[in-house]
Amino acid sequence: MKIKKTSSIRSQMVLYFSILLIIPLLFTAIYVYVTIETGLKQSYSRHQSGSVEILASEIEVWRQSYEDISLRIFGDRLIQQFLQVNEWAPNVELLSLRTDVRNRLVWYEEYNQYVRAIYVLNDHSMATGRLFDPRIY
């Protein structure tokens, strides 16, 4: 009987010490989890905000660049002359004008790093611009 009492006391002590160890470990684990989760959420939020700001500034640069090149194209006398042609008969003067406009559009494409192709379409559905080159894209 004496063995059972010591065994019982020993098992009770192990149980109590285990509880005394497990409870602080559990609270510590919960505290660390909540702290890390909050920190990660804040870090993720800051990272996303930074990414959004960078993307917004890049979009603004692109928009400004496209606006600038559009104003240059629409203000170009040669392109305006092309757009004002009323009849497209296959003669040397008009073909030369179309070639000159195409060359000017190619120059505008090379002027801007964001532009891959520019086409101009007049009222008579006559388009001009660089021919499609799949290697560019």
Assess whether pLDDT exceeds 90 at residue 44.
yes
In tens, the pLDDT along 4-41 reads 555 788 888 999 999 999 999 999 999 999 999 999 99
Tokens of 93: 């003067």
Q: How far is CA 95 from CA 14, 47, 101, 116, in A?
A: 99, 54, 10, 24
Q: What's the rounded Cα separation, in Å, for the pair 90 and 130?
A: 20
pLDDT band at 1 (very low <50, low <70, confident <90, very high): very low
